[in-house]
Amino acid sequence: MAMVRKLETHGIRHPAVLAAMGKVERHRFVDSALANQAYEDTSLPIGLGQTISKPSVVARMIELLCHDRPGKLGRVLEIGTGCGYQAAVLSVVATEVYSMERLRGLHERARENLRLLRLANLHLLMGDGMLGFAKGAPYAAIIAAAGGNDIPQAWLEQLAVGGRLVAPTVTATGQQNLVVVDKTARGLVRTELEAVHFVPLKSGIG
């Protein structure tokens, strides 16, 4: 709960997001040797060159997805399951979550981390996240835990009209920023926000 209070000082206001961050125990998703750092606002290594994002970044991105939405989010696609932490938080604020991971080692680790939580609305997928997951489309929201030079076309196609996508993306400045894309009946509306630092978005399965 101290972590949640700290998130409020970072400007996180959405009640459902704060409740979800308070419900999912972050120490379950990191190595036991790092458990004493689990509730600090820092990213931590989870193996295979990947990291678990800072709590403030997870909360910020999910709050952007929930912005102006009454009630729960609908179906969400997460690109980059990692250790499964963000997927677990998403499962609290959404009716259904599809989470895709390209690295088998992390996919298996997330499955193990999440087994005891028994989240019936969370589906873990092994595959190339850049292709999205067409079978589950359209999505009310899409969120990515890795940043590319552009937002893959497949994601934009799989986003529902009225849906929102949040992803770190390299912008015209050459640095990575959080980018929000709203899909309206008249087209896509793109908004660039603050600078962030995520692992690179890659294609293929490893």
Hey, which residues are catalytic here? Answer: 53
Phi–psi pair at 74, nearest 5 degrees: -80, -130
The three-state secondary structure class of 9 is helix
Residue 48 CA to residue 84 CA, distance in Å, equals: 14
Alpha carbon separation from 141 to 97, 98, 148 (Å, rounded): 10, 11, 18
| Most distant pair of Cα atoms in the chain: their distance | 50
Q: Which residues make Cβ contacts (< 8 Å) with residue 184, sequence separation at least 6? A: 161, 162
Give the DSSP letter of residue 67. Answer: T
CA 65 centroid distance within chain: 10
